């Protein structure tokens, strides 16, 4: 594999940089680089800018309004976005449910939902995990029973990221209890404003309202909202998860975080000298940088292998495991660089409008919050232990 960019790819990188220099709002970039909270309005403002450029739906075919970038172009966009401080794309609509609708949905569903995802008119969330059905997703118990031209849905989903903002949720539901667990699951699109849906916040350790519990009580969902065939939802879920797990590798995010770590270690002092000059600490930075370089090459190799339009297979599990471990290591080193100031957690310093005196470095509070929040990386999207089982079975044949 040639790891050097071609002249055309370098020209594309220049185009990306020029666009970000011109269009990325400075206040949003400042929040992203400072690990500050972003509002729903921040995300929507940036989505409109991307959509106007035609660069929002990078996983979609052109016939549906997507941009048909090569795998390398997508990689360049990801790296430059993270370097500039571009907000993370909320993936549930554009990068997760949309590919499923494009591949398995009917024409009416494509015409109804895809334009609204592109325009930002609909904000989507994901209804997969349940209490007792996380990594073992096939054990889910939320039921959908046919009643005329509707399904009646009852059950509970949990860890629903940003569900408090959502207009729509895509759900895995059990439609058949008489077959093997994986064979009785269907994929439904549900309007969050439907009577019988209750969203209850879960406040995480960093004080943030990011995830939720979602309860369904006799919720009526039109049969037309079934994607594909009844009882075949497990197939569609696996297809979606290959996109999710590849994105969870977070190579661009880790490169940006590594840059922050080096900057922080250059400012913090140990015995009167910059921490980055400390032999033990610099060796730990060097090791995680080597690991990140290896993961980046693996990521390029995998995306190059699907250049023709396919999706990653079990290799996405390998990326998810290694990528999340690297991100957590960088978070840990940054927390160690702050030292004792990482111990007190001052939630007020995370507020968008905070204008008081910081306890220590202005980076300390958001860094601690980021560290706590990112402990979840090796759990969601299928825990790393489950991903290792997939790799051992599907790649190593064990």
**197 beta partners:** 216
Give 222: exposed, middle or buried? Use CB within 10 Å, 0-12, 13-18, 19+: middle
3-state SS, 100-157, equals HHHHHCCHHHHHHHHHHHHHCCCCEEEECCECCECCCHHHCCCEEEEECCEEEEEEEE
Query: Has residue 223 got a pLDDT over 60?
Result: yes
316 and 302 in contact (C-beta within 8 Å)?
Answer: yes
Of 19-33, 76-90, 130-144, 340-354, minimum mean pLDDT range = 340-354
Distance CA 132, CA 27 (A): 41
Q: How confident is the model at residue 35 (pLDDT cuts 50, 70, 90)?
A: confident
pLDDT at 332: 93
pLDDT at 378: 87
Helix axes 251-267, 279-305, angle to 10 degrees: 160
E strand or H helix at 203, and its extent? strand 197-203
Q: Distance of alpha carbon 194 from its chain centroid, rounded?
A: 26
Among 169-173, 176-180, 384-388, the least confident range: 384-388
Residue 298 has pLDDT above 90, yes or no: no
Provide the pLDDT confidence category of residue 317 given band limits of 50, 70 and 90. confident
- Report, as an integer, the average pLDDT of 65-70: 89
- Per CATH, which fold does 246-394 belong to? Butyryl-CoA Dehydrogenase, subunit A; domain 3 (1.20.140)
Q: Counting every residue, how long is the chain?
A: 398
Q: Selecting from 3.40.50.1970, 2.40.110.10, 3.10.20.90, 1.50.10.10, what CATH number does the domain 123-234 have?
A: 2.40.110.10
Q: What is the mean pLDDT of residues 128-133?
A: 92
**First and final C-alpha spacing in the chain:** 28
Average pLDDT, the chain: 88
Q: Report yes or no: 237 and 245 within 8 Å, Cβ to Cβ.
A: no
Look at the block and give the residue holding tokens 């969203």: 199
Reference 264, options 191, 360, 180, 199; nearest CA is 360
CA 139 – CA 124 distance, rounded (Å): 23
| H-assigned helices in the chain | 7-23, 26-33, 40-53, 71-84, 91, 98-104, 107-119, 233-247, 251-267, 279-305, 315-338, 364-373, 384-394
Please report the pLDDT score of residue 369 as a whole number. Answer: 77
Mean pLDDT over 292-305 rounds to 81
Mean pLDDT of 354-360: 65
Mean pLDDT of 275-290: 96
- 132 versus 382: the higher-pLDDT residue is 132
pLDDT in tens, 320-352: 899 999 999 999 999 899 887 776 556 666 665
Torsion of CA 13, 17, 20, 21, to 10 degrees: -170
Instruction: Report the share of the chain in percent with pLDDT over 90.
Output: 59
pLDDT value, residue 363: 66
Whether residue 206 has pLDDT greater than 80: no
Question: Helices 26-33 and 40-53: crossing angle, nearest 10°?
Answer: 120
Q: What pLDDT score was predicted for residue 320?
A: 86
- pLDDT(302) > 80: no
Neighbours of 232 (CB within 10 A): 19
* Closest C-alpha to 98, from 135, 49, 65: 65
- DSSP one-letter string for 207-219: S-EEEEEEEEEEE
**Axis-axis angle for helices 251-267, 315-338 (nearest 10):** 20
What is residue 353's predicted lDDT score, i.e. its pLDDT? 64
Q: What pLDDT is stored for residue 386 in this prediction?
A: 82
Indicate which residues carry an active-site annotation: 244
Where do the structural domains in the chain lie, given as residue ranges? 7-89, 123-234, 246-394
Higher pLDDT, 315 or 203: 203
What digits encode the pLDDT tens for the residues 39-50?
999 999 999 999
Instruction: Tell me if 379 sits within 8 A of 45, measured CB to CB.
Output: no
Which of the four pLDDT bands, split at 50, 70 and 90, describes residue 292? very high
Q: Is the pLDDT of residue 174 over 70?
A: yes
* pLDDT average, residue stretch 300-311: 66
**What's the pLDDT band for 370 if we cut at 50, 70, 90?**
confident
> Of 131, 199, 197, 191, whose CA–CA distance to 164 is shortest?
199
Q: What is the pLDDT of residue 129?
A: 93
Confidence class for position 250, pLDDT limits 50, 70, 90: confident
């Amino acid at each position: 594999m040639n790891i050097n960019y071609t002249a055309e790819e370098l020209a594309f990188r220049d185009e990306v940089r020029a666009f970000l220099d011109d269009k990325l709002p400075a206040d949003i970039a400042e929040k992203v680089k400072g690990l500050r909270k972003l509002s729903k309005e921040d995300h929507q403002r940036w989505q409109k800018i991307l959509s106007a450029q035609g660069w929002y739906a990078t996983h979609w075919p052109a016939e549906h309004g997507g941009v048909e970038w090569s795998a390398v172009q997508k990689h360049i966009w990801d790296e430059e976005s993270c370097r500039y401080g571009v907000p993370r794309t909320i993936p549930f609509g554009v990068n997760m449910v949309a590919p499923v609708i494009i591949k398995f949905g009917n024409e009416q569903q494509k015409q109804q939902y895809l334009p609204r995802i592109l325009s930002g008119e609909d904000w989507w969330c994901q209804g997969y995990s349940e209490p007792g059905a996380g990594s073992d997703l096939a054990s889910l118990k939320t039921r959908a029973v046919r009643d005329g031209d509707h399904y009646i849905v009852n059950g509970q989903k949990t860890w629903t990221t940003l569900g408090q903002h959502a207009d729509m949720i895509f759900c895995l539901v059990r439609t058949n209890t008489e077959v093997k667990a994986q064979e009785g699951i269907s994929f439904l699109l549900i309007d969050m404003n439907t009577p019988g849906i209750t969203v209850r916040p879960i406040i995480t350790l960093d004080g943030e309202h990011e995830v939720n519990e979602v309860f369904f009580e006799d919720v009526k969902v039109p049969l037309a909202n079934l994607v594909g065939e009844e009882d075949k939802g497990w197939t569609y879920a696996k297809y979606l998860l290959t996109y999710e797990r590849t994105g969870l590798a977070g190579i661009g995010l880790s490169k940006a975080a590594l840059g922050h770590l080096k900057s922080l270690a250059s400012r913090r002092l140990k015995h009167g000298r910059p921490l980055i000059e400390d032999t033990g600490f610099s060796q730990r930075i060097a090791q995680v940088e080597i690991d990140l370089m290896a993961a980046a090459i693996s990521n390029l190799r995998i995306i190059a292998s699907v250049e023709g339009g396919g999706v990653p297979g079990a290799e996405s599990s390998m990326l998810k495991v290694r990528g999340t471990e690297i991100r957590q290591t960088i978070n840990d080193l940054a927390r160690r660089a702050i030292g004792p100031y990482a111990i007190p957690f001052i939630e007020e310093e995370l507020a968008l409008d905070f204008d008081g005196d910081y306890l220590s470095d202005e980076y300390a509070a958001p860094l601690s919050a980021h560290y706590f929040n990112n402990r979840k990386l090796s759990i969601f999207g299928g825990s790393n232990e489950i991903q290792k089982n997939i790799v051992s079975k599907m790649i190593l044949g064990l």
